[in-house]
Amino acid sequence: MALEGSIEEFGLPEIFQMILLQKKEGVLRLTREKTTLFIEFNQGQIISAGDGEGDARLADNLIKAEKISSDQLKALLRAQKRDNQPLARALVQAGHLPADEVKKLNRILTEETVFSLFEWKSGSYKFEAKETSYDSQLIEPLSTDSILMEGATRTDEWPLLKKRVPSTEMVFEVLPKEPAPAPADEESEKKEEDSFESMANLSEPEEEEGAWLLPWIDGKRTVQEIVDHAQMGTFPVFKALSELISQGRIKAKEESLKSQRKKSGFTFKELSRQQQIIRIIFNSITIAAMVIFSIVAFKSVYVTLSNAVQPILEMRTLRAGIERDNLLFALDLYYLRYGRYPDALQQLTAEGLLNSKRERRIDLSKWKYELTGNTFRLSSL
């Protein structure tokens, strides 16, 4: 049978099992409402999963975890475009992260995407057989069989975990650990020391379940911030929090500190938009200064109105500059998604990269776009 159809009729576990058993190679496209995710398989094993913008997701994760700064990210993006390579490889070559840490992070991001799919009860799927490849230094294929078993376990446990930790905006604090009770008397202590069980247990006491998360719980970080900084995945963090709650080691703070704390970091798209906003503000200030100068410099209203033509022309130039910035941003997003620039500007609209009200008003026929190899030229007609 063709690997295409409805998730209601043929569940995701069955789809994964078929791909695994037949050791297929290709891309599984999953769509639900406005969400589309892609899972790449190599010999039936999962090598990547996401929305097609893996570099943007990796960058956002590193910024939130404070692994790199905004200036470092800007330099990495320039190097990435220059050398035409994935962001993960640029990170390693620049010395920001070792290859093993990048491999671990790629695995966690892939797992997070795949496990989120187990909550899908509707949607459609389509598998396209095609050749896939991966960098073995930065990507470790995930066992599809293990993913299926772990996914079933997480599906069963998630409802209880979310009852104990209902919001990612919650803030937890560590409670003082109560000392262990002293023995009732010397005789009972002696019996304990002489018992077979105590003689057999000569090792150090095991660490309490969930204790690995305690260093991240400081009474200030929200649950989402703990997930971002611990870089262990959402489910392991929620499970550890639930275990620590059961042990009486932590408790939720009554007041939220989120409003008192300054947000650290920003997303990859916000960084790109920030650059556009700076240019727009600079151009706006320049035009406003010219208009004010024109009004003040001339006494006559007639002369003032006559010279107002120049600011009007400048406003048109500003609008063209804004349209150019929007097009450049959309071209960068297209490059991050496909590793190349589009053949024509109309592909930006087809891919949904010009969605805002202002972007939809751009007349693409008034722009000249020339693609040369891995670079392009963009100019207004």
**pLDDT of res. 278:** 62
pLDDT band at 63 (very low <50, low <70, confident <90, very high): confident
The Cα-based distances of 17 to 66, 154, 255, 301 in angstroms read 38, 18, 46, 79
Nearest to 43 by CA among 29, 25, 16: 25
φ and ψ at residue 50, rounded to 5 degrees? 170, -165
Assess whether pLDDT exceeds 60 at residue 2.
no
pLDDT tens digit sequence for 336-358: 777 788 888 888 888 888 877 77
For the segment 264-270, the average pLDDT, to the nearest whole number, is: 53
Structure token pair of residue 283: 């151009």
Q: Which residues contact 216 (CB under 8 A, 6 or more apart)?
A: 226, 229, 230
- Sorted by sequence, the CB contacts under 8 Å of residue 108 that are 6+ apart come out as 231, 232, 233
pLDDT tens by residue, 129-171: 999 999 999 999 999 999 999 998 998 999 999 999 999 999 9
For residue 362, CA distances in Å to 88, 272, 273, 326, 329 come to 34, 19, 17, 9, 14
pLDDT digits (tens, 9 = 90+) for 359-374: 778 888 888 888 887 7
Cα 130 from Cα 87, distance rounded (Å):
23
Give the least confident one: 13-27, 92-106, 198-212, 273-287.
198-212
The per-residue pLDDT for range 299-329, each reduced to its tens digit, is 554 455 455 555 555 566 767 778 888 888 8
Give me the pLDDT at residue 306, please.
Answer: 52
| Residue (of 69, 91, 63) closest to 79 by Cα position | 91
> Does the predicted model carry a pTM greater than 0.75?
no
**pLDDT by residue (tens digit) across 109-128?**
999 999 999 888 899 999 99
